[in-house]
Amino acid sequence: MDAAEKYKLWDLEAAEEEANPKRTRLRICSLGLALIGFIFITVSIFREETLTFLKSQSSHGQLTKTGQVKVSFENVRNGTFAPVMKALQWINAPGSISDDKGLFLTNSDDGYEVRSVFDKDFSRTLWKGKSFVYKNANYSVDSLVASPNLEKLLIRTKTVSNWRHSSFGSYFVYSNSTGFQCIGDNLSLAEWSPNSLDIAYVHDNDLYLYSSEESKTVDRITQDGSSQVFNGKPDWVYEEEVMETDRTLWWSPKGDYLAFYKINETQVGEFVIPYYVQEPEDVYSKLKSIKYPKSGTPNPAATVVLYDLKKGKASQVELAASPDLLIETKWVGDRMLLVKSTDRSSDVLTVHLVDAEAKESKVVRKESSNGGWWEITHNTLHVPQDKSKGRASDGYLDVLPVNGFNHLVYFASADDAEPVILTRGAWEIEDGPFSFDQETNNVYFIAAKKASTQRHLYSVSLQNPEKIVDITDTSTSAVYSATFSSGGRFVLISYKGPDVPFQKIVDLKSDEQDVEKEGNIVGKTLYYLTKNEELRRNLASFAIPSKRVQELTLDDGVIANSFEILPNDFDPQKRDHYPVFFYAYGGPNSQQVLETFSVGFLEVVASQLNALVVVVDGRGTGFKGKEFRSLVRDQLGDYEARDQISAAALYASKPFVDADKISLFGWSYGGYLTLKTLERDAGAHFKYGVAVAPVTDWRFYDSVYTERYMHTPQQNIQGYVNSSVHNVTAIAQAKRFLLMHGTGDDNVHFQNSLKVLDMLDLNGIENYDVHVFPDSDHSIRYHNANTIVWDKILNWTKKAYLC
């Protein structure tokens, strides 16, 4: 499940968003939200009431009392409210630790160029244009990665997407001296060695070594790659739930060794997905089979393999404790490899240290989750040995729970069992990013220290633990993200709200400081990357619905983060007037209530439907500590539904709310939570519901995600029964509900919705609507589906509120 993606509610084209950190996002939800259906009570009633409603929506109906224009789908979809946010591709160039020039790669229509944030006159063109000719054939440049010494380029072309993160393509090496070298076609991936000479690549699930110096493949590292054995790249579940990327290979710091996973999914069950509208001339469906481990069924078997380049030999690493899941691998020295693993239910974390030269491993620590679970993270950061700086050994930074809250810790030696605690308190560090400055021993990190709905940039020194320095201005509410140059001197600070976003480059080691503070209170601003002044001007013409972040006190004394968006010209003196549109995601460790800037789908709902919009992060969600989130363990859908119902009751009691027009919408885990809430509520508060691509039975979802929160069905039979969507007669007590799903969903299989439809048929229930999107995956995009799904959510809800 994708917790975020990743997805942004306000971004109808769905993009990954830091508002849902990777570790918090339920991989079930892909990029985006969506819905399905059509509400029908009687055609004549709907027609008459819809016509009445539409008549009121004259040109004057799109203006507020102040004469400003209401937010609509049209101006959201054309990008009127989309801030410009740029990514800076920092380059880890030789010598950057001691002499950090802040080198980065720019990509424009003219090609690719290395520039410096410190020296504006520095420029080095790596590539001109967007295409090239090789053997009289034209190729477009899909991606380009420079070698670490910036002398050669690795170019991918003819890219074909596979799953969420993976693709296939043709790869070329280019340099001014040798011209083009073709590595091969239909490769899964290719990656430079730190030595700038070698390239590891995967073809047909086998791993190869290519020498750019010799212009040829010099070794076939593995021989057993097949449709069921993966070398150096993940299978479906490792890509989706564990690695969150397309590769499982890691070069050692000097390029002497290559570590990779061998994943064998022979024992994993297959799930077949039919595709119906791929080719107009085809009269038969196409079938795609995926090895997909469902809850309680065999997982793929993953092992660590080390390839010694000098010896030209690959050897499997025998880990001291046989793991069920390999969740993170990181070099913490020239020959030392750190490997994290868990049991299949993520109850116990085991950390192994592998000596690549001796081919030996040992367990350096083993930790229980103590009633919670271990999230899969990728934030371990190597801290190199430097005795002159007080670092006697190679160590690493990590995030671990401290008194029930996730905090930054430092293992001074890679084989230490106990860390130095760098931060502590009733707040949590985010999943990253952090940067380590090897010259100053400062660690930079993003945390929800001021408030769980905010993110600020801080630093702490290895020599002075728990003395935290604010880098961004914590006197005002804000959400920031940051990326750092390779030496840690320069930082791209991205302000994401609640006001109009901006981005700036800051020199953290400047002798000067900013006179006027905006964003950062440490360092000197070199320049702004984006200011979004045009967006600010555009906003003046529109009536942006007011948004307020708040805390709600729910039943059982639960204090939950929430925000509400008020419709234009809101009048609290009206009685029984305003509908309430709840949006929910609610997956374990996720977060939707974040003080970011957004004008999108929820604002469209508030403006066009004259409705209050409410989002509540109930129990189970992240950044409020272990006790708040781990309560849902082994019983998904229970406490989450209770909190949505409690919030609905609270709003129903407000005099200006029409208690007969309260609806709930969710996608992926949110779709599941919508159905579970309707089931528990039985029409008492939520009168309408819209569920898109929902899980309906956790036995149907993948083992890696599900068992982290539910254990296996064999261990928790009653929990799986209770957590499934099973009481459809209770759901039917709502006035009407809508169900939508893509038939090509490889993540949350269409099987989930079909199971519920079958139960509805068996129970003679008819007060629902369905829309199926042929061949669309979890993001529902195929053949214009993404436009349709959002239109249906809005229009279906509009008709529901007219009843």
Cα distance between residue 658 and residue 578, in whole Å:
5
pLDDT of 755:
98
Lowest mean pLDDT among 307-316, 429-438, 747-756: 429-438
What is the mean pLDDT of the segment spanning 367-380?
92
pLDDT of 793:
98
Catalytic residue among 398, 776, 778, 779: 778
pLDDT of 1:
63
The tens digit of pLDDT for each residue in 324-349 reads 999 999 999 999 999 999 999 999 99
What is the mean pLDDT of the segment spanning 727-734?
98
pLDDT of 352:
96
What is the mean pLDDT of the segment spanning 492-496?
96
Q: Smallest Cα–Cα separation from 392: which of 410, 413, 378, 366? A: 413
The tens digit of pLDDT for each residue in 569-603 reads 999 999 999 999 999 999 999 999 999 999 999 99
The tens digit of pLDDT for each residue in 251-270 reads 999 999 999 999 999 999 99
pLDDT of 178:
86
SS3 529: strand
Cα distance between residue 592 and residue 142, in whole Å:
33
Residue 401 burial (10 A CB sphere; 0-12, 13-18, 19+): middle
**Per-residue confidence band for 320, with pLDDT thresholds at 50, 70 and 90:** confident
Token output for 274? 């039919």
| Number of Cβ atoms within 10 Å of the Cβ of 451 | 17
**Per-residue confidence band for 110, with pLDDT thresholds at 50, 70 and 90:** confident
| Strand pairing class (542-543; 69-70) | parallel
The tens digit of pLDDT for each residue in 15-49 reads 333 333 333 334 333 333 332 232 222 333 333 44
**Per-residue confidence band for 121, with pLDDT thresholds at 50, 70 and 90:** confident
**Per-residue confidence band for 200, with pLDDT thresholds at 50, 70 and 90:** very high
What is the mean pLDDT of the segment spanning 54-67?
61
Residue 436 burial (10 A CB sphere; 0-12, 13-18, 19+): buried
Cα distance between residue 443 and residue 437, in whole Å:
7
Cα distance between residue 479 and residue 720, in whole Å:
37
pLDDT of 27:
38
The tens digit of pLDDT for each residue in 622-638 reads 999 999 999 999 999 99
Catalytic residue among 486, 668, 724, 779: 668
**Per-residue confidence band for 96, with pLDDT thresholds at 50, 70 and 90:** confident
| C-alpha distances out from residue 407 to 172, 396, 419, 449, 656, Å | 43, 14, 11, 11, 43
Query: Does residue 119 have an active-site annotation?
Result: no
The HSE-up count of residue 239 (CA atoms within 13 Å, CB side) is 21
What is the mean pLDDT of the segment spanning 516-525?
92
Do 458 and 474 touch, CB atoms closer than 8 A?
Answer: no
pLDDT of 563:
98
Token output for 210? 């290519």
pLDDT of 503:
96
Q: Smallest Cα–Cα separation from 623: which of 32, 31, 7, 25? A: 25
The tens digit of pLDDT for each residue in 637-694 reads 999 999 999 999 999 999 999 999 999 999 999 999 999 999 999 999 999 999 999 9
Kindly give, in sequence order, each residue whose CB lies less than 8 Å from that of residue 123, ignoring residues fewer than 6 positions away: 113, 114, 115
The tens digit of pLDDT for each residue in 399-408 reads 999 999 999 9
Lowest mean pLDDT among 7-11, 140-144, 365-369: 7-11
Cα distance between residue 118 and residue 285, in whole Å:
57
pLDDT of 382:
96
Any idea what DSSP says for residue 419? Answer: P
User: Is residue 107's pLDDT more than 90?
Assistant: no
Q: Smallest Cα–Cα separation from 744: which of 201, 244, 273? A: 273
pTM of the complete model: 0.90
Residue type, 558: V
The tens digit of pLDDT for each residue in 167-189 reads 999 999 999 888 999 999 999 99
| C-alpha distances out from residue 289 to 206, 645, 692, Å | 20, 39, 23
**Per-residue confidence band for 10, with pLDDT thresholds at 50, 70 and 90:** very low
pLDDT of 2:
54
Catalytic residue among 745, 746, 769, 775: 745
The tens digit of pLDDT for each residue in 497-518 reads 999 999 999 999 998 888 888 9
Average pLDDT, the chain: 90
User: Is residue 391's pLDDT more than 90?
Assistant: yes
SS3 241: helix
Cα 152 from chain centre? 32
The tens digit of pLDDT for each residue in 524-559 reads 999 999 999 999 999 999 999 999 999 999 999 999
| Number of Cβ atoms within 10 Å of the Cβ of 311 | 8
Query: Does residue 660 have an active-site annotation?
Result: no
**Per-residue confidence band for 125, with pLDDT thresholds at 50, 70 and 90:** confident
Query: Does residue 668 have an active-site annotation?
Result: yes
pLDDT of 45:
36
